[in-house]
Amino acid sequence: MSDSYSPITIEKSWQARWRESGVFATRQTPGKPRFFAYEYPPFPSGELHMGHVRNYTIGDTVTRYKRLQGYNVLYTQGFDSLGLPVEDAAIKVGKTPAQWLDECIEKMTDELFGLGLSYDAEKIFSYHDPEYYKWTQWIFLKLFEAGAIYRSKQWSDWCETCITALAFEQVEDGRCWRCKEQTTKTQQEQWYIDVHSVAPELLDGLETFDFPPSAKVLQRNWIGCLPGLFVEFPIEGSDTTIEVFTTKVSAIYGTTFIGLAPEHPDLPDLVTGTPDADKVLAALRDWCTTPLVERMKDPGAEGIFLDRYCTHPLTGERIPLCVAPYVQADLGTGAILGCPAHDTNAHRFAVTMGLPIKTVISPGVPETAGSDAVYLGEGHLVDSGCHSGLASSEAETAIAQDLIDREAARKGETYRVRDWCISRQRYWSAPIPIIHCDHCGPVAVPEADLPVLLPTEGVDMTRPGNPLEHHERFMATQCPACGRPARREASTLDTFVNSSWSYMRNCNPHYHDGMYDPDAVTYWVPCDFDIGGTENITVANFYFRVVLKWLDRLGLTPMSEPFKSSIFHGMVLKDGRKMSKSLGNVVRPTDLIAEYGVDSVRFQSMWAARPDSDYNWSDEKAAAARRFLTGVWYGVLDLVPVLGQTLPNMDGDPVMTNADKKFANALHVGSGKIQAGYERIEFQAVCNDLMLLWDKLKKYSDRVRAHATRRNIELLRRAVEQFLIMLNPIAPHLTEELWGRLGNPVMLAQSDHWRDRIGQDRTGQETVGQERVAHEH
RNA sequence: GCGGGCGUGAUGAAAUUGGUAGACAUACCGGACUUAAAAUCCGGAGGCCUAUGCCGUGCGGGUUCGAGUCCCGCCGCCCGCACCA
């Protein structure tokens, strides 16, 4: 091999050697700490983008560092090959998803390994493999049996363009997360995962793992626990009640109406028989189909008097029932206490509807008392029967107790989070394993009949709507309960259901006797480290947790949180803007690799910014990275003969000159800083410190060249080797090659050289995540 | 409105955790080598000033022998949630 630096030659050769030698095969050897790094799966578009390069280089760097530290590492990948994005991409090029995927996954796999990623190739799998989605369906059945999955005709978000239902979280500002078109709402049978019931665990669990503070807060707000009181209002002329939820019961004497969400399930009954029933129902329909964001734009919008009344549980007053469009069905009970004097929305609504406004909490300041303004603060109660005069904070507990004693109320909390709508009226995902029978209703597919295969032949994708519905061979079946002819459920699972348990499958994707290999999962999960973009870390992570909370409750998993530690990476920008085809500023990783070599691209990606901040792609910086690595290449090669010489052991050798001592110290301090940088996932600092150390190393090597002694050659050799070990996680190919040229027989990828030659990480058995938690407190 | 993050050169950013602010790098300027350019190497550089010096980590206070770092109060930017019962 020639001595000029040719990244492509070196990189291809080392990638092949790593693969052939199987150094990245997962090991569960006893007596070693473990490290499982999870990366959110790539959508198999067939071509990497800069975001992938950044994401996966971070993951790879971490795992290579951990291997060098003597950890058993699990690092592999699964392809997110089911779901709407794949189906749409295939339609665009006029292929079936299956045809399209074959090519793309192959190409994508090559590109991933081309980045030098140290994946365990044997463990790579795809979500559209029936061996995988069989178990996704199995999870569905388990949750269905337990009541965690239910079918409901409640109003759900709907995208006309994608022709499918959407989860609440997949609607962004009234628009579909995929096509960005305005969404609407429909009332069709859809499948839901009960998130409400596991909300307390989801909230508590947040405290147990290391998560970026912003993401933690986001999920906490998202779950949104509101403690309060459920109060029953008896309906006049009926033996039923309306239940409202309130967080401010101290204002209950100021109730002048009860506001019902247009979706409120009792409304049809309340309206039936009234003269305007048809008109009212039409109006309700109108509100129900409008996306929530639209409806909430004007909370003071006119509602409807129902001409029905309920009775105030404390005063016995007649309180009118109204439909208030600003009231949300999924929050609390979908019915609210209308206290216009002490609630902004109720006030606006009361003004529009001409309802009375009754002040019951007085701030005790004369000029504000009696004014028309809404008073939201504390004060003392007025006009509140036997509770008048109490401070509002005292009244909160006193009135609650009073109502509870009268059996008119119960304490509780409501969660802002919505149950997760998981059914999609689209073709390319795991079919929901349910059979609809005219006699038995929806019946679970027996476990033995799994997987319910997604047909890949005879699918007509040109017709609008769900192609599965028109696929007779798929649809026609028998009822597992009564044996009569029946129809399959044509909806498929939301893409996040597919990925929700992928990290368990990563441990052993070839396991046949269950959804996961229990030995492997007990050993590896929860994952020590998880890296993704912001959406992964917030949205996907949340869904993963929901599914796991249920599996844990059902005793199906040995853990209750998927990850010990998550971090997110920023975006890669070009000229300060997001890379996009429409702006024409897309930088293609394959071009960069051809120009600079993988190691330089990796180095530049890690060096450009700390992982969590955005950075601007810059050619100058890539060139600088290349220059640095080129310098290392020639620098180390030049030293090979120097380090290889054997000098006689001369008694006259000074023990250690000042220069030796100074350099030895610089090496020690530098290594410590570099190690700390790796531990804290601050790779930018690692790169800077590596460059600094290299500079010192080069200067010292000139000194050694001028006056070589056994001792300083020994020190220099140690320094060069340490330097290569420390640079290895970021620039693995170059360092392997140089390491070999120095005569080291055992590959860098093959052994725990770091622990051997430099020292153990300060945290010992602890993981990165735990260390970060420890720093926080 | 609520919550979270962040403010240091032209730029990405360092600062041994309270001890010489701006390491290292990019861009920039100058020099060397070249017929020339590129590459490479060497040197310069926070601001003000002729200079001794003075001022400098968003702004204003405070604690301290000493503050980018700790405390209080403002200002500005980014992100998330939202008329939440």
A479-496 pLDDT tens trace: 999 999 999 999 999 989
- Determine the nucleotide nearest to A607 by Cα–C1' distance: B12
pLDDT of residue A295: 85
Question: d(Cα A421, Cα A167) in Å, to the nearest integer?
Answer: 5
Closest CA relative to residue A46, chosen from A75, A20, A7, A85: A85
pLDDT of residue A255: 95
Q: Which long-range contacts (CB under 8 A, 24 or more apart) does A293-299 make?
A: A293/A173, A293/A174, A294/A174, A295/A325, A295/A326, A296/A326, A296/A328, A298/A326, A299/A326, A299/A344, A299/A345, A299/A348, A299/A349
- Determine the nucleotide nearest to A694 by Cα–C1' distance: B24
pLDDT band at A654 (very low <50, low <70, confident <90, very high): low
Say which range, A92-96, A665-669, A678-682, A761-765, has the weakest mean pLDDT. Answer: A761-765
A695-732 pLDDT tens trace: 888 888 888 888 888 888 888 999 999 999 999 999 99
Burial of A759 (0-12, 13-18, 19+ CB in 10 A): middle
**A182-208 mean pLDDT:** 91
Residue A148 C-alpha from the chain's centroid: 21
pLDDT band at A761 (very low <50, low <70, confident <90, very high): low
A340-391 pLDDT tens trace: 998 888 998 999 999 999 999 887 655 444 456 788 878 889 999 999 989 8
pLDDT of residue A765: 34
Residues A181, A185, A186, A190, CA torsion sign: positive
A608 beta carbon < 7 A from strand B?
A: yes
Residue A462 C-alpha from the chain's centroid: 33
A419-475 pLDDT tens trace: 999 999 999 999 999 999 999 999 999 999 999 999 998 888 888 788 999 999 999
- Determine the nucleotide nearest to A692 by Cα–C1' distance: B24
A217 beta carbon < 7 A from strand B?
A: yes
A247 beta carbon < 7 A from strand B?
A: yes
What angle, rounded to 10 degrees, do the helices at A97-114 and A7-21 form?
110
Q: Which residues of chain A between 21 and 60 are close to nucleic strand B, CB under 7 A?
A: none
Q: Retrieve residue A351's tokens.
A: 């003004």
- CB distance A538 to A218 below 8 Å: yes
Say which range, A314-323, A593-602, A662-671, has the weakest mean pLDDT. Answer: A662-671
Q: Which residues of chain A between 73 and 132 are close to nucleic strand B, CB under 7 A?
A: none
- CB distance A636 to A720 below 8 Å: yes
Name residue, tokens 């990189």. A11
**Strand B positions within 7 A of protein Cβ atoms:** 3-5, 12-15, 23-27, 39-41, 79-85
A533 beta carbon < 7 A from strand B?
A: no
pLDDT of residue A45: 84
For chain A, the straight-line distance linking the first and the last C-alpha, in angstroms and rounded, comes to 53
**Residue A472 CB contacts under 8 Å (≥ 6 apart), including other chains:** none
In this structure, what are the phi and psi dihedrals at residue A382, rounded to the nearest 5 degrees? -125, 155
ipTM of the complex: 0.87
A39 pLDDT more than 80: yes
- Determine the nucleotide nearest to A684 by Cα–C1' distance: B13
**A507-518 mean pLDDT:** 96
A251 beta carbon < 7 A from strand B?
A: no
Protein residue at shortest CA distance from C1' of B13: A609
Closest CA relative to residue A423, chosen from A85, A177, A164: A164
pLDDT of residue A676: 85
Question: d(Cα A309, Cα A320) in Å, to the nearest integer?
Answer: 4
Closest CA relative to residue A399, chosen from A385, A414, A415: A385
pLDDT of residue A557: 96
Question: d(Cα A644, Cα A278) in Å, to the nearest integer?
Answer: 95
| Partner residues linked to A311 by β-bridges | A318
A621 beta carbon < 7 A from strand B?
A: yes
pLDDT of residue A369: 46
Q: What is the pTM of this model?
A: 0.91
A290 beta carbon < 7 A from strand B?
A: no
Q: Which residues of chain A between 389 and 418 are close to nucleic strand B, CB under 7 A?
A: 414, 416
A178 beta carbon < 7 A from strand B?
A: no
A327 beta carbon < 7 A from strand B?
A: yes
Pairing of strands A149-152, A171-172: unpaired
Question: d(Cα A643, Cα A645) in Å, to the nearest integer?
Answer: 6
**A614-630 mean pLDDT:** 84
The per-residue pLDDT of chain A, averaged, comes to 88
